[in-house]
Amino acid sequence: MPQLQDELFELENKLLDPDLRRNPDKLASLIADDFLEFGSSGHAYDKKRILFLLKRQMPPRLYIEEFRIIQITDSAALVTYRAGTESTRVAAAHYSLRSSLWILREGAWKMVFHQGTLVPET
């Protein structure tokens, strides 16, 4: 499982990269056609909508902490982690808890579900 953990960690990091997030062609290859996201806003998004929205957004640079993986089957894994913002404008980082369901399809891992929940500031 260490190899799978490394691979999914790398894929999650790619999806957090601001340049990749604004490139629908590259981003689309990592997301399943039947993708669903429950955003921290409380809205649900499908693949088409998330590609459109991210292309127009200037996302912050994020980093991953507390990365965990639960392998459900040989071709399905649940990933959970805490994402923090990297910002020179903000004194303290902002965090969100994230979970993603990855499915191996035709030899490539695709994200089929993602949820982000904001962590309240203390």
| Helices marked H in the chain | 2-16, 18-21, 24-28, 47-56
**Model pLDDT for residues 18-38, shown as the tens digit of each residue:** 888 888 888 999 999 999 999
CA distance 108 to 5: 14
- What pTM does this model have? 0.88
Residue 87 has pLDDT above 80, yes or no: no
Domains of the chain are 2-118 (3.10.450.50)
In this structure, what are the phi and psi dihedrals at residue 22, rounded to the nearest 5 degrees? -95, 5
Residue 4 contacts residue 77 (beta carbons within 8 Å):
yes
Residue 36 neighbours by CB distance under 10 Å: 16
pLDDT, one tens digit per residue, over 68-81 is 999 999 999 999 99
Task: Say what the pLDDT of residue 20 is.
Answer: 85
pLDDT tens digits, residue range 88-116?
555 556 889 999 999 999 999 999 999 99
pLDDT at res. 91: 57
The pLDDT of residue 11: 96
| CA angle in degrees (0–180, nearest 5) for 86-89-95 | 40
Residue 76 CA to residue 87 CA, distance in Å, equals 33
